[in-house]
Structure formats: C-alpha cells, structure tokens
Structure 1
Amino acid sequence: MSLRHGTTHDVLACWFGVDRSTITRAIGEVRPLLAQRGCTVAPDVRLCTLAEVVEYLGADGRTGIVDGTEIRVRRPAAGRKDRDKFVSGKTKQNAVKSMVLTDAEGRVLFCSPVRPGSCADITQARQLGLPQLLSGGSFMEILADAGYQGMGA
C-alpha cells in the first residue's frame, strides 16, 4: 500500500495497529526484494512528522484539511483505570480518536497516534503542537470543522 498509493508510514501504522518503526522496517525489507525482481520505486517525498507535513504545505501555499476521526473499540475491561476516558462525548460510544491531515486532493499526509475517545479535536491538535507549527510564518490554508474553532492559528 505504501509503495503503490504513497500512504505514509504513520497512516499504515495506525491502520494496522503497530508502531511506525515496524512499518518502516517491513518496507525496508520489501523494497530490495522488489528491486531484485525489476520493480524499482522512484524516490518521492516522504513525510513522517506533523512538522514535515506543515512545512510541505507551507512551501507552496498549499491547502490542507484537518479533521478528527473516531474508531469504535471494545469497552475496556471492568476495573481498568480510566475506563471512562474511552467514552466519546459526541457518539456516547467507546472509541479512540486520531487526527488526520490531508492535502486538497484528499491524499493522507499525516495520521496522529490514537487517543482516548473523550479527547476533543482541538485538545489533540494542541497536544501535537499544530497551532505552534501553523504560526511559523509560511502561508497555507487549513480547512477544519467546528471541532478546531478557537485554535488561534
């Protein structure tokens, strides 16, 4: 998926529920095998961190789209500390949340690590440092829904 669609390692890690380093290692093992069989991969822009994504969007004044997504999960075991943190205030279901940043064409550039469902979109953006990165000086347009209102960037 990474080689064919250009999906970032962070997104693949989020999809498969593993650490980004596992994805990076697996792709590093597969690429030489493909190259031996004549399937070369052109070097391309690889964005691994939120700072790299913001820098990429700001370089040419591109438009980005940011939104949070909820993924339903099984209810944590009884007696687990902070069990209620997984209950989403929006859907009233047990969930984890992730912040996704795409370009104007909808290509996923960044997918944050998951947080408990009770974490607000704006809180997750602040914890990831998005307002500070956006106030860095480069001009770019970021489209966001009401969950990011008041971020001040």
Structure 2
Amino acid sequence: MRAEGGGPDHQLVFTDRVIVTLVILRFQLPHAALAVFYGVDRSTITRAVHEIRPLLAARGFAVPGGAGLRLRSLADVFAYAAATGVELRIDGTETQIRRPRANRPGRRAFVSGKRKQNTKKTTVISDDAGRTLWTGAICPGRMHDQTAVKSEGIGDLFVQYPQVRAQVDAGYRGLAKDFPEQVTAPPKKPGKNASSDEVAAWEEARKAQSSRLIPVEHANAEHKQWRPLQRYIGRREYYDQTHQAIACLVSDRTAMR
C-alpha cells in the first residue's frame, strides 16, 4: 500500500512523502500529476512537500571524510576551511522566477541587471574539487553579488579566520580589495591607452583566474541539473528553501568524490 486509509483525502506514509518531495525537487512536476499517481488529493501532495522540503533544506552540506559533519552556516564553512586548509571558491548564480504582479511594492528588485529577467540570486561556495560547501545569501536578482554575501557577514569571517583563502570572480573584486592577502579576483581591464604587453599580461591573468574558478562553476552546473533551478515556476516565497534543499542533496553525492 502506498498510502494509509482508503478515501481521496487519506495521508501518504512518510516514505512516500519523502519520495514525492524528491520527485518534485528533481523534475518540478505539477502536484496534481503526482496526486493522480498516488490516488490522493492534490492538497495532500502539497502538504507533504511543505513538510519534507524544510527538513531537507535544514540538513546542511556534507564534506568529504566528515564522518557525519555537516556545514549549516557561512561561519561553519570558514571554520572548516581554516581547519583543513581548503581554498574556497565563491560565485553567484541566478535563477529566473515568476514576475511579481504589477504595482506590487519591490517589484523592480527582482529584475537582474545582468540577465534582464526576474531572478533570484544565490551565492555558492565550493572547494577546489567542485564539492558544494554552502549556498546562501539568497536575494532578489537586482542586488549585487558582493552586497549579498556581505550581508551574511563574510567580511567579519575573513577577519576572524585570516588563514582562509578564496578565489572569486569580478563581482567580488571589492572583497579582494578589502582582503588582498586572502581573496584573489581577476585584475581590472587595462585602459584604452595600455600597451600591448599590459593587455597580454591582463589577458593571461584573467584566464588563469577563470581556470581557478572552474570548480565552483561545476558545482553550480550540478545544481542546475535539477529543473526548479533552471527556471523556477513555483511561488517565490518557497524558492530559498527549494534551492537549499537541492544544494544539500547534491552535496551528499559530491562529498563522496
């Protein structure tokens, strides 16, 4: 039996509630479709997802050889990096979401200046093997990458853990300016009057920095294999929880590398 009871409003057993939530996270199927499969009301599927999704999102991120250790905050990531010598890779990613209704306060906050779409932005941190260590600082797409991660107190953590090193892209160049011994960002593009040697040196440094960021780009790509993070069509208030749940699930697999 897949469910308890025999009427249209009976409840799913816990195992099926987990399976339903995983299927929706992976494929973003309509709740009504799964309701037909399980022979229950659509609201039963919705309740199951609302119960299980926050549990998955709160699990934290697995680390290799961690013996059950899970990272649940940015402070945990910095403590882990300081203890193990892991060099962090930090990058931002955006997911298209539904456009807020007209005349709603804060509507423009979701319009990404980069993608020209309504998005939500997430900061992702990985190690040098592309294993997801943390996702967070989730904010409307209009907010700058660096502003989002600074709101999580990353500056204080660099001060607290001076041995931690990080590789970032141009969106976090201000962090590299504030912590030049700890954060490495791409160099600024030379001016129009720069010599050919200066341009060549800049291009070489830019490519080298881009190569060092490949692991976190791979981590982002693994998250984007899950359909809700390709284009999210659910309610915006559940996006943060959805992204966290997916990233935590992905970390379980990547921690085994």
TM-score by length of structure 1 reads: 0.72
Q: String of CA shifts for 1:82-105, please: whole Å, max 9, x gaps.
A: 100000011111100010111111
Q: Which position in structure 2 is the counterpart of 1:70? A: 94
Secondary structure of the structure 1 residue equivalent to 2:147: helix
**For the residues of structure 1 that align with 2:97 and 2:68, how far apart are their CA atoms?**
35
Match for residue 85 of structure 1 among 105, 109, 112: 109
**Is the CA contact 2:78–2:161 (under 8 Å) kept in the aligned structure 1?**
no
Partners of 2:53 and 2:74 in 1: how far apart? 14
Q: Sort the Cα spacing of 1:20 and 1:104 in 2 relative to 1 into closer, same or farther, 3 A.
A: farther
Q: Mark the runs of 5 or more structure 1 residues left unpaired by the alignment.
A: 1-11, 28-41
- The equivalent residue for 1:22 is 55
* Alignment partners' CA distance in 2, 1:73 and 1:24: 19
Matched residue count:
125
Where is the strand percentage greater, Structure 1 or Structure 2? 1
CA RMSD of aligned residues (A): 2.7
Partner deviation per Cα, 1:121-149 (whole Å, 9 max, x = no partner): 11011101111101213412201000001
Return the alpha-carbon distance in structure 2 between the equivalents of residues 141 and 56 of structure 1. 12
Residue 154 (structure 2) pairs with residue 121 (structure 1): no
Unaligned runs of 5+ in 2: 1-21, 27-48, 60-65, 180-257
Aligned to 2:133: 109
Find the residue that maps to 2:148 and give its secondary structure: helix
Of Structure 1 and Structure 2, the greater helix share is in: 2
Superposed CA deviations along residues 50-76 of structure 1, whole A, max 9, x for unmatched, are: 100111011132111001100111111
1:51 counterpart residue number: 75
The partner residue of 1:149 within 173, 177, 193 is 173
User: How many Å separate the matches in 2 of 1:66 and 1:119?
Assistant: 16
Per-residue displacement from partner, 1:33-53 (whole Å, max 9, x unpaired)?
Answer: xxxxxxxxx942211111001
Query: CA, structure 1 residues 134+55, in 2 after alignment: closer, same or farther (shift >3 Å)?
Result: same
Q: Is the 8 A contact 1:57 1:140 kept in 2?
A: yes
**Alignment partner of 1:94 is 2:118:** yes
Once the two structures are aligned, what percentage of the paired residues are identical?
36
Partners of 1:20 and 1:65 in 2: CA distance: 27
